[in-house]
Structures are given as structure tokens and as C-alpha cells.
Copies of this chain bind each other. A is one copy, B any other.
Amino acid sequence: MTDEQVKQAEQNGQVEQVRRFNRTVAERVGVLHDHYLGGARPYGQARLLWQIGDEGTHDVRDVRARLGLDSGYVSRLLRALERDGLVAVEPHPGDRRVRTVRLTEAGREERALLDDRSDALATSLLAPLDARQRDRLTSAMAEVERLLTASVVSVEVLDPDHPDAVYCLRSYAAELQEIFDSGFDPAHSRLPDPGELRAPRGLFLVAHLHGEPVGCAGLKLPAGAPAEIKRLWVCPGARGLGLARRLLSELEERAARHGSELVRLDTNKALKAATRLYRNSGYTEVPAFNDEPYAHHWFEKRLTPVTR
């Protein structure tokens, strides 16, 4: 958000609204949370119990990493849960330094209980409302959740050989293979070699959510030719967050800063959402400017030059 936009948001009362929301929600949900989920078990233990999960054994170090807790603290929490017979801790068969943990029968019951309480909390919020209000509350909640999730997605430049970038490119190829009538074989496509998506000849963006890569987009910046967008992909679980749009405008901005006046891209007719995005974002369809065998549509957009 620029300073300009901050001011704008304040004038709209948006900041005020968000603050009110934080107060109301944090307090109401918080209080109920304590009321319903408290009592049974200290929060730390409950979190751990939850994270261990119903089935299978887990390495203690993984659980610890996911919760971001101190090793000593987790050790103590595990001792407490073990004492109550809720978890079983055993050495890892392959590496006897590592310890694994799984829920016992009693542990699964206790976890189910937490589940029930969580349901009860949700029900208590819905209970006083009539059917119409409930519908509106849940859709508004979904919207808030979606947008707040979107707001913690980070986008950064990564080398196309970075594991997260590779993961995205593989997922992208796998998905096209799935979707295209003709299948998709990267060997037949005008696949940019990694060098083209790396400074100074281009760049590659990767979006992360909670540390996981969830989307990517590549930009070719050939000398003396229009910029070209390649490999714009958002993982299925992160769609609907406006992430593709964000990646697209980030690329456009960087292309403009680089001095490009025109940005082009090609796409397949099976990628309907992408095609819609391009049209909505000011791209106009143009005749084929390359011989990409998998492309059905070619687009371009004129960029407003950066002045400073």
C-alpha cells in the first residue's frame, strides 16, 4: 500500500472498520474459545494433540517445526500427554536419535472431544440467528477468510532452479498435461530455458503461503523486443484469492520498470480462467506472434512508461 493509498483507506474508514472487526471478533470468538475449548486441557497440550493428528506416527521434530516451538518445551508437553496416556512416543526405527509420536486410543478420543467443542463453539455462534442471517454470516466469513489468506501470500523473485520454482513449473506442466485435449509435452513447447527467466534476461516470481509455494509467473525481457509472460500458474488450493492477477500486475510493473513498452503472452483455449483474466486486465487479442504449438490465443498489452 502506498502512502497515498493508506490515506485513502483511512478516509474510507476502512482502517476503522478493520479495527472494529479485530476487537469484536477477537473478543467474542476469543472469549467463547476459552469457554468452550478451555477447561479440558491447557492450550499448549491441545495444540500439540491437534497437530499430531488422528492417524500415523510423526517425527517429533516435524511436529515441533510446524508449531514453531522450543525443543525443551515440546519435550515437556509430550511428557505430560504421555503421562495421561494420550500419546505414545517411540524411537524412529531408522534413526534412533529421532523420536516418533502417535495418538493412543485415549488420545484419539480426547482429540475428538476437542473437535466436538469446536463444533459447539461454531454452533453457539450460529444458534441465535435465523436461516437467512446464518447464510449471510457464513458467506461473509468465507470472504473475510479468503481475503485475509490472500493478504499473507508473499511474492518474490526466485531463481528458476530453486526447488520451490521447480515444484511450481512441474505442477504447471502436470496440470497442462491433464487439461489439454492434446496432452502437454514440455519438449514440444517453446519452453524458455531457465536462463531466459533469470536476470538479466528475465525473472521468475514465486508466491508463497505459509512457506509453501502456491504460484509462479515468468517474464522474458529480450533486448529490443516486447516483454513476454510465461508460465503463469496458481495451485488449485490457492485459487480465488486474486493471486494470478497479483502476479500478472507485478510482472507488468517490473516489465515497465525495465523499460518495456509492450508485454505479450500466448495461451491455450482450455485455460478459460486465464484467458478471462487477460481480457479483464486490458490485454487485447492479436495475431500469432510465435509458433507455440500449444497456443490458441495471443495477447498483448501496452504498458504505461515509468516516469521516474
Contact = CB atoms under 8 A, between A and B. Distances in A.
B28 A29 contact: no
Interface residues on A, range: 35 or more
- For the residues of A in contact with B, the DSSP-based class is helix
Contacts of A70: none
A129 B147 contact: yes
Interface in A8-66: 8-9, 12, 14-22, 24-26, 28-30, 33
A98 interface: no
B144 A15 contact: no
A22 B14 contact: no
Interface in A127-179: 127-131, 133-138, 140-145, 147-153
A15 B145 contact: no
Contacts of A133: 147, 150, 242
Given A26-B29, A133-B242, A147 B151 contact: no
Contacts of A12: 135, 138
Nearest to A30: B26
A21 B147 contact: no
13 contacts: A14-B126, A15-B119, A18-B122, A19-B121, A22-B122, A24-B149, A25-B26, A25-B29, A25-B141, A25-B148, A130-B246, A137-B148, A144-B144
